[in-house]
Each structure stands twice: as structure tokens, then as C-alpha cells.
Amino acid sequence: MNTDKLSFLDENQSVASVVTKLHEYFKNSYSRCKVKRSQCLSQLEAATGEKEQAILQDLEKIDQEMALFGVLNDALSIADRVVHSKTMSSALGLDSEIYQIHHETEEEQRAEWNLAEYRISQQRQTQQ
């Protein structure tokens, strides 16, 4: 397995699991936007003047987010179905890199640990 291509994965992830998690993330993001939009519409009924304009601007931003999250949700839904289809797993085999769990090497783990320690020390210096 060529781990250079999979270095973006965390320990114990596969490409297939990342696709599923991304699909869930964008589906949930779209749902949260729908809830926020509904709340704004409820507020809009009683709003006037500047408050009404602010809510309308919020609605416009939410509509843009919903459009983007909707497209991403749809695209990842398709990818999720294809990656987990019997046809794909049969064609590629379950031993394909797409389905294999990524295991970090000790060197990768050490590099992640060093980076985490560096970030913590930077945060501490900023807080002082």
C-alpha cells in the first residue's frame, strides 16, 4: 500500500470512512441551516425597520450556505453510495486502499506529537 497517498487520513481511518463522515457532516450542516432559516423566518414576522433588514441579510447568507451545503451533501451522498456499493467493492476488492484502515507509522505519530506539543507551547506563550 502506498501510504504517501493516504497521509491525509488519521489513524484507523479509511478513504471509505472519510467519505461517509464528510457526507454526514454536510448533511447535518444543511439541516442546521434549515433550522436557522426557520428561526429567522419566525423572527421576521414581528420585525420592522433595521431589525427586519438584518434578518433579511441573515436569511440571504443562510440561503447561500444551504445551497453550498446542499450541493456538497448531494455529491458526497453519491460518492458514499458508490464507494460502499457491492459493484465497487467487488471490482476493487476489499483489500483496496479505499477500504483499508490507515495505520500511522511511528515516525508519523512522533511528528504529530511534536506538532501538538509545539502548538500547546505557542498557545501558552500567547496567553501569558
Taking only the tens place, the pLDDT of each residue in 17-56 is 889 999 999 999 999 999 999 999 999 999 899 999 999 9
> Is 119's pLDDT higher than 70?
yes
Q: Are 9 and 102 in contact (CB under 8 A)?
A: yes
16, burial (CB in 10 Å: exposed 0-12, middle 13-18, buried 19+): buried
Q: Would you kindly state where each structural domain of the chain is located, as residue ranges?
A: 15-103
State the CB neighbour count (10 A cutoff) for residue 121: 10
Backbone φ, ψ for residue 51 (5° rounding): -65, -40
How large is the average pLDDT for residues 48-77?
Answer: 96
Question: Residue 66 and residue 51: Cα distance in Å, rounded?
Answer: 22
Backbone φ, ψ for residue 9 (5° rounding): -80, 145
pLDDT score recorded for residue 60: 97
pTM here is 0.67
